[in-house]
A = this chain, B = another copy of it.
Amino acid sequence: MSTRARRASVVDVAKLAGVAVGTVSNVLNRPEVVAPATREKVMAAIEELHFVRNGRARELRAGRISTVGAILLDIRNPFFTDVARGAEDRLAQDDYTLMLASSDDDPAREQKYLRLFEEHGVHGMLVVPTGPDLGPLLAMQDRGVRMVVLDAPSSLPELCSVAVDDEAGGALAAGHLLSQGHERLVFLNGPHTIRQCAGRRAGVDRAVREAGLDPEQVVVEVLLSSLDAAGGDEAMQRILDDTGVPSAVFCVNDLVAVGVQRCLRRVGGAELLTRVAVVGYDDIDIASELAVPLTSVRQPTHEMGSAAADLLVRADLTVEHVVFQPELVVRASSVAHRGGLA
């Protein structure tokens, strides 16, 4: 029908309703100050013209901006989308909207989106940086865009940040295994250049020391290059071949743990699988759906997003560094002699 008819504007509405543009604006934004009769007329005109106000003009004039941007490392990673979801929920309370983009760990893409969002005039940004160089973020903050760095490899004191206490996570897992009576534990970790990995290792050591033991005697750390199921499977196989069956294995993430379980079953069937205690990290959705439900360290993704969003919309501009505590979710994989599965 309407091939390319210009969208109706407040002027059109005003004309049709027989009032001034200011009045239209008022019924839109402060309905209480306009008399019911005129309000009705205006509403009717809006209805008739299918008027939808132009957000760009609105924000241009009003200066207000009601969207915040987020740049994640990978939009397909559940960890990040869960965080985004938490942020979105919090933002919705204040009528903000969230625009998502993923950098794919590519600094160029990160830059591009950063600029795009800034041009768009977002209120603030929520970013998981691709690299250690936070300069551009700081510059943008100086230009008036609120910033929160998420889960960052290293963070500047001038930038708000939200992260998880990896050391506590490592300690939680190791402490749990020690309390189950295990006297040695294998830690399948990633390279220490990744801050998270180093932190978790430190936590493991701390827990061991707190149990009155010597980390050097208790912990066998194996560094993986690929942190997925294949990597876990392979590493576990090597351990079985070289040093025999371990009593307990702590994995840097759940996928690695899945690989470990797969290897154990292949080699020794259900019997071996239930004999070795396994703990993962991240508590991904399927952790509870595995043949042997996996004990895992859960990061409070939703709360992280929520907290980050909170920093973005709150009135004061104080810089704050929020650190969340992870939580241990105990399932069958780390509990000895689980009846139903023997």
Q: Whole-angstrom distance from the CB of A46 to the nearest CB of chain B?
A: 13
Q: How many copies does the complex hold?
A: 2
Q: Distance (Å) between the CB of A204 and the closest chain B CB?
A: 25
Interface assignment of A294: CB less than 8 Å from any CB of chain B? no
Q: How far is the CB of A91 from chain B (nearest CB, A)?
A: 11
- Contact call A98/B97, Cβ cutoff below 8 A: no
* Chain A contact residues: helix, strand, loop or mixed: helix
Contact present for A81 and B75 (CB under 8 Å): yes
A122 to chain B, nearest CB (A): 10
User: CB-defined interface of A53-92 with B at 8 Å, one 1/0 digit per residue?
Assistant: 1111111100000010000000110100110110010000
Question: Which stretch in A14-22, A139-147, A182-190 binds the other chain?
Answer: A139-147
User: Whole-angstrom distance between the alpha carbons of A55 and B115 in the complex?
Assistant: 10
Q: Which residues of B contact A143 (CB under 8 A)?
A: 2, 7, 50, 52
CB-defined contacts of A53 to chain B, threshold 8 Å: 119
Q: Which of A7, A82, A261 has the most CB of B within 10 A?
A: A7
A→B interface (CB under 8 Å): 1-2, 4-5, 7, 50, 52-60, 67, 75-76, 78, 81-82, 84-85, 88, 97-102, 113, 115-116, 118-121, 139, 142-144, 229, 255, 258-259, 261-262, 265-266, 269-270, 286, 289, 291, 340-341
